[in-house]
Amino acid sequence: MKIRVGVVGAGIYGSVLINAYYGAHRRGDIEFVAVADISSDALAKIDKKYGIKGYLDYKEMYEKEHLDAVAIVTPDFLHEACVIDAANSGIHILVQKPLSTDIGAAERMIKAAKDNDVMLYVDFHKRFDPGHMHLRKAVKDKKLGEIEYGYVCMEDKILVPTEWFKSWAHNSSPVWFLGVHFFDLIYWILEEKPVRVYATGHKKKLASLGIDSYDSIQAKFEFPSGATVSIDSSWIIPNSFSSVVNQQIRLVGTDGMQEVDSQDRGVVAVFGSDDYSHVINPYGQLQVDDIDAGSVPTGYTIESMLYFLRLVNKMKRDNLTPITLQADYPTGDQALVSTIMCSKVHESVEKGKVLEITY
């Protein structure tokens, strides 16, 4: 029998996930049964586009729909209740990054998932980018020798905090919303947790627009091996930039160096309708025609979402528990590391000090 799947949150990224899960439904991999959102407008759009049943109260969806799995795509600071209620209903969970903007809430979610023996999968799609997978393997195979230092940037256009998430940008930050992707990635690639951090931040541009959130935060992490990695997170890049997001990573070791430019994949487009050119990353997300399912999305951001469904299918088919698969996905425990990193970065900015990080 196919797994029954629901989604909580049908906003900007929820719509991307719903499109991905509708593709899985049309391929016959899952039964996509319902979507919950507190906005009736959001539900009406989903109903019109896909004909999927909507609930204004996610708890009612959990109670009535006998779900095997749910994806939580609510704002950064609103994951906890949806996750804990799903865990207590015995439903496997994909939750968007960051797991939480609060360490205590993250720990409560992890405990609820463990207590109920359900999967808590955090959607860290950077782990699914082939460029990052290649970099991780090169580091693992010691192709770069001992890693000495590295550099990362992840920056969004200013439309993200001022237009897309104007209502909750003050409850998040460029670190919680963006940096966390690469905090997790660096931890995943180096396979060690940082022990020290120093960070600086600025509140200028967004403050001038009436939004109380950091514009940018620069953090330098030190790892037990001695490697240091500097990570810039920002969401004030002018809207005339050629992509919504700019992102790069480079690592340098005793015997090599590797860089992944995750923004510029060499695909440039100029359309008469726009007054700037576009640098496109078709490997992240692309709508394609599937021979069986028609128009469906693909790309590494989608792969990450679909992988969760494959794991739940596997657990059901082979009668497995999440603990038997924990080496194969971004678990709640792993996401706690990046949650602590984000939290310490903010504390370092506020105190103006180098801080030790313990887990």
Ligand X SMILES: NC(=O)c1ccc[n+]([C@@H]2O[C@H](COP(=O)([O-])OP(=O)(O)OC[C@H]3O[C@@H](n4cnc5c(N)ncnc54)[C@H](O)[C@@H]3O)[C@@H](O)[C@H]2O)c1
Which chain residues interact with ligand X by CB under 6 A? 8-14, 36-39, 42, 58, 73-76, 78, 82, 96-97, 123, 125, 165, 177
Alpha helices (runs of H) in 191-251, residue ranges in sequence order: 205-208
CB of 239 to ligand X, least distance (A): 17
CB environment 345-357: b (16+ within 10 A), e (fewer): bbebbeeeeeeeb
CB closer to ligand X out of 253 and 332: 332
Structure tokens at 203: 């509140």
Q: Of 201 and 299, which has the nearer Cβ to ligand X?
A: 299
Identify which of residues 184 and 215 has a Cβ nearer to ligand X in the complex.
Answer: 184
Cβ nearer to ligand X, comparing 46 with 315: 46
Least separation in angstroms between CB 358 and ligand X? 26
Least Å distance, CB 76 to ligand X, is: 4
For residue 204, which amino acid is it?
K
For residue 341, the number of C-alpha atoms closer than 13 Å in the C-beta half-sphere is 34
Instruction: Please identify, using beta-carbon distances, which residue of 223 and 307 lies nearer to ligand X.
Output: 307
Q: How far is the CB of 253 from ligand X (least distance, A)?
A: 29
Q: Give the shortest CB-144-to-ligand X separation in angstroms.
A: 27
Q: Which spans in the chain are helix H?
A: 12-27, 40-50, 58-64, 80-88, 103-115, 130-140, 159, 174, 180-190, 205-208, 300-318, 332-351
DSSP designation for 125: G
Q: Residue 32: in which H helix or E strand, if any?
A: strand 30-36
What is the number of the residue whose Cβ is closest to ligand X?
11
- Between 61 and 147, whose beta carbon lies closer to ligand X? 61
Closest CA to 127 of 342, 311, 335, 301: 301
CA distance 139 to 206: 38
Shortest approach of ligand X to residue 355 CB, angstroms? 24
